[in-house]
Amino acid sequence: MRRPIKVLGISGSPRRHGNTETLLDAVLDGAAEAAGSIEKVILRSLDYASCRGCNACHKTGVCVIRDSLTPVFDKIADADVLVLASPIYSMGITAETKGLIDRTQFLWARKFILKNLYYPANQIRRRKGIFVSTAGLGWENVFDAAFPAVTAFFNTTGFDYWDNVIANDLDRYGGIEGHPTALTEAHEKGRRVVELLKRMEEESLSSAPGT
């Protein structure tokens, strides 16, 4: 039996069940509808420290900090789809989200300094990253400062940055529930990404020698 597509959602919002987590839940619901195996991590509920900048991982490839964020990296390594969610605070991602991203320095060290971590292109193609975000402002560029950090996060963790699920102007809409399309589109993208990976797996199996 083929294993289900594993979808890991990470909420970096400091507010529970707010606009961003609701949008994330819509993505996860869509993934579950397509028979994906979903799990959600709430960063604000974890007790973790930010990167110390000690550079010890540059020599060992291991972060010296051991806390409740440590097992999250095992979940990330095991995921097929990684959905990172953060609202826009002061024109960027939240402190909770940035703390997670900074803690991936040990993976960066393994890739670029120690050179003992390599993600083959075919592996990256089969692992999809989605960024979920909301903003109160209606400015078209309100998400622009978030994208570089999110891109670095997906690159460091070995995911193809597949798509965004973003909704701005929520002050005008009175929150995500008032947005005319965001929740439906989020649900659809969650379903689509799982179905895409299933098709890719089927194509790989059908083209394998002896099939």
Domains of the chain are 6-19+27-185 (3.40.50.360)
> How does DSSP classify residue 48?
-
User: How many whole angstroms separate alpha carbon 114 and alpha carbon 187?
Assistant: 40
pLDDT value of residue 1: 42
- Over the chain (211 residues), the average pLDDT of each successive run of 10 is 88 97 98 98 97 97 97 98 98 97 98 96 96 96 98 98 98 97 98 96 74 50
Distance between alpha carbon 63 and the CA centroid of its chain, in Å? 20
Could you count the other beta carbons within 10 Å of the beta carbon of residue 53?
Answer: 8
Q: What does the angle CA 77 – CA 186 – CA 198 come to, to the nearest 5 degrees?
A: 50
User: How many whole angstroms separate alpha carbon 19 and alpha carbon 137?
Assistant: 13
Q: Which residues pair with 40 in a beta bridge?
A: 9
Distance between alpha carbon 109 and the CA centroid of its chain, in Å? 20
- CA quadruple 119, 120, 125, 126: dihedral positive or negative? negative
- The string of DSSP codes covering 46-111 is S--PPP----THHHHSS-S--STTHHHHHHHHH-SEEEEE---BTTB--HHHHHHHHTTHHHHHHH
- The string of DSSP codes covering 120-151 is -HHHHHTSEEEEEEE-SS--TTTTTTTHHHHH
Contact between 147 and 135 (Cβ < 8 Å) = no
pLDDT value of residue 91: 95
User: How many whole angstroms separate alpha carbon 121 and alpha carbon 9?
Assistant: 23
pLDDT value of residue 2: 74
Tokens 């400062």, residue located: 145
Amino acid present at 70? T
pLDDT value of residue 208: 63
pLDDT value of residue 199: 94
Helix (H, G, I), strand (E, B), or coil: what is residue 46?
coil
Decide: residue 196, CB within 10 A, 0-12 exposed, 13-18 middle, 19+ buried: middle
